[in-house]
Amino acid sequence: MNHKTLSFSVRMLSAFALLAGASAFAQRPLDVHFSGVLNDYSPSTVKGGPWEMHGTWSLDLNGASGRADFSAAMTMSGYGKTADGAVDPTQGGQSAHTHNIRLTNIKVIWDMTGCPTYSPATQQGFQIQGTVSLMTGNGSNATFETNPPSSVLQVCITGGDLVPYSVPYSNMTMQFTGPATTHFGTQAIHGDVRTLEFLGGFR
């Protein structure tokens, strides 16, 4: 087991000892930092699609207020076309660009109602949902976004039950409504949880 895996396992075991499920965050004044990566594809039906999506994300949960801040930094690139206009997977890396996305001071919802489903199913989690405070394309306000931004983003953090050989916070999804769907699509964008750190507030 390498150092990173061991460190993650120790943090997760600490979470097992401290928490009895996502709703426990709402009952304890914990400040918690989540972070991870995202890797997915957009539908081929969006303009320029399909796009490859890769990036990092973080979510900071303020236990005292029950609110959270979320940010993601993404790279996206598309594909060339064959002579007959079909997507050519050998011509990857076309039209590469970046996006920075933020949700600021959003109320935490302590359940998974409306979150995307998985197979096998995730067992518990929490979510935030609100109008993005930042949506860039290569550093400027994205061309598909209004000014100020009006796209709504749902972020779900879910995972397994608090039982042996399970990880309670393993999955992250981002899902847009509004102008951003013309670029990202309406489907969930998937990522995973790499770190969970208690920043303070626990007694």
The string of DSSP codes covering 71-109 is EEEEEEEEEEE-TTS-EEEEEEEEEEEEEEEEEEEEEEE
Other C-beta atoms closer than 10 Å to the C-beta of 97 total 17
How do the domains of the chain map onto residue ranges?
A: 3-74+95-200
**What is the Cα–Cα distance from 125 to 111, expressed in whole angstroms?**
6
Residues 6+ apart with CB under 8 A from 174: 38, 57, 72, 101, 153, 154, 155, 188, 189, 191
Of these ranges, 4-8, 158-162, 189-193, the one predicted with the greatest mean pLDDT is 189-193
CA nearest to 106, candidates 59, 149, 147: 59
- What confidence tens digit (pLDDT) does each residue in 113-157 have? 999 999 999 999 999 999 999 999 999 999 999 999 999 999 999
Considering the entire predicted model, what is its pTM?
A: 0.86
Q: For residues 56-70, give the mean pLDDT.
A: 95
Percent of the chain with pLDDT over 70: 84
Closest CA to 133 of 77, 72, 181, 185: 72
DSSP letters, 39-77, are EEE--TTSTT---EEEEEEEEEEETTTTEEEEEEEEEEE
H/E element, 35 = strand 31-41
Residue type, 105: N
Residue 14 has pLDDT above 70, yes or no: no
- Is residue 119 packed enough to be buried (19+ CB in 10 Å), middle (13-18) or exposed (0-12)? exposed
Average pLDDT of the chain is: 87
